[in-house]
Structure 1
Amino acid sequence: MKKFLLATALAGALGMVNQAIAAPVLMNFNTPVQSNNTTITVPGTGTYGAYSGLTYDFLNVATANGDTLDARVTITELTASQLGVPASQYQGDYQGTIPRWETTNTGGAQPNGDLGIQYEVNDYNSQLSNTDGDYFGIIYQIQVFDGTGAASGTFNTPYNVSELSLIIYDVDGEGDLNNNGLLDDGPFRIYQAENLVIGKAGLESYKVGTGSNELTKTGEDASSISFGGDFRNVSETSKSAAVQVNYENVSGVAFALYGRNISNSGNPISFPNPVFTGVDGSLEIIDFSTDPTVEVGNGNPDPTPMSAPNHLALFSLSLLGIGLLRRRRC
Structure 2
Amino acid sequence: MLLMIQFFDSLLNGILIVLFLFLACIAIGLACSGGKIPKEETIPTSVMREIGVQQEKRPSPTISWREIPRDPIRRRTVQPQRPIPGVSHAIKQVHRPPALSEKKVKALRGGEFVGNRMRFKVKVVNETPYMITDVTVYLLSYPKESLRLAGKEDDCQFSKIEPGGFRSPTFDFIPTQDCVRGDIVAGVSYVDMTGKAHTLSTEPFVIRSVCDLLIPDQVTPEDFALKLQSYEHGEIVIKVVEWTPKEMFEKALRIMDECNFYEVSSNLDVKEGIVFGNLNGLAKGKYTGKAVSVEIRITGPLGQKGASCTIRVSGEDQAMILPAIDDLKERLSAWLCPMCASPLTLDNVEKLRDGKVVVCPFCSVSIGR
Higher helix share: 2
Higher strand share: 1
Tell me the TM-score normalised to structure 2 length.
0.21
Tell me the TM-score normalised to structure 1 length.
0.23
Rg (Cα) greater in structure: 2
The higher relative CO (CA closer than 8 Å, separation ≥ 6) is in 1
